[in-house]
Amino acid sequence: MPRDVNAEFNEEKNKSANAPVHLFTVYDYDSLGNDLYLAESDADVEFDSVTYRKFPIKYDAIGENNSGEIEKLKITAANISREIGGYLEIYDLRGKKVAIKTVWLDQLADTDNYLEDVFYIDSYSADEKNVVFTLTGKLDLLDVQVPVWRFSRNFCRWDFKSTQCGYSGAETSCNKTKQRCEQLANLQRFGGFPSVKSNRIFLG
């Protein structure tokens, strides 16, 4: 759908001395339904009672087609700390909803003065430096053929206590790491791939 931009928003956008700040929300990224809040900023940003954590993240300029609809775009997040890559090792983020708010630091008190675009994660790739997400503006992922497995060296692909996992002990949680599997004396059922390079995630 075309974006509805009010006059005040356009006025702020056109000020040469005013640079926009982009706020990213990844909804329901983990198994507990938590959201991830990141800011393309040098400092944390508080907006509408939500703290967006500063993070090295950027995205390709958003473009619109002739119908005013937002097309696909790519988001690049730094992976030096392995934080984002760690999420991908544990959770499958394909299909997750992503909202990108554009705000201004001198207008944060006005919670109605922002522009928001909503996307869904279509695919992603990761290496030791960056994670690159491809986002689509429509929830049409049922038409996309996605890989069956993610191949990781240190993380298990099985659900805890599933038939494939085979663990039937008293423990109630597992972080799916090889180390945890060894602690539970269940290493023979570990669903990772030790031969895969540790600095990459492979889909297949």
Query: Taking the domains of the chain in order of start, what are their residue ranges?
Result: 7-143, 147-204
* pLDDT tens column, 191-201: 877 665 544 44
> Is the confidence at residue 150, as pLDDT, over 80?
no
The predicted structure's pLDDT at residue 15: 52
* pLDDT tens column, 99-139: 999 888 888 888 888 888 888 898 888 888 899 998 887 65
> Is the confidence at residue 30, as pLDDT, over 80?
yes
Lowest mean pLDDT among 15-24, 93-102, 105-114: 15-24
> Is the confidence at residue 95, as pLDDT, over 50?
yes
The predicted structure's pLDDT at residue 201: 47
Lowest mean pLDDT among 12-21, 29-38, 189-198: 12-21
Lowest mean pLDDT among 5-9, 47-51, 122-126: 5-9
Closest CA to 3 of 74, 72, 61, 65: 65
- The alpha-helical segments, DSSP class H, found in the chain are 7-13, 83-90, 178-183
- What value does the mean pLDDT take over residues 22-44? 91
pLDDT band at residue 67 using 50, 70 and 90 as cut-offs: low
Q: Which amino acid belongs to residue 136?
A: T
> Is the confidence at residue 97, as pLDDT, over 80?
yes
**CA gap 187, 77 in Å, rounded:** 33
Instruction: Determine which helix (DSSP H) or strand (DSSP E) holds 57, and give its type and residue range.
Output: strand 57-59
The predicted structure's pLDDT at residue 122: 87
Class of domain 7-143: mainly beta
Measure CA of the first residue to CA of the last residue in the chain; give whole Å: 33
Return mean pLDDT, the chain: 78
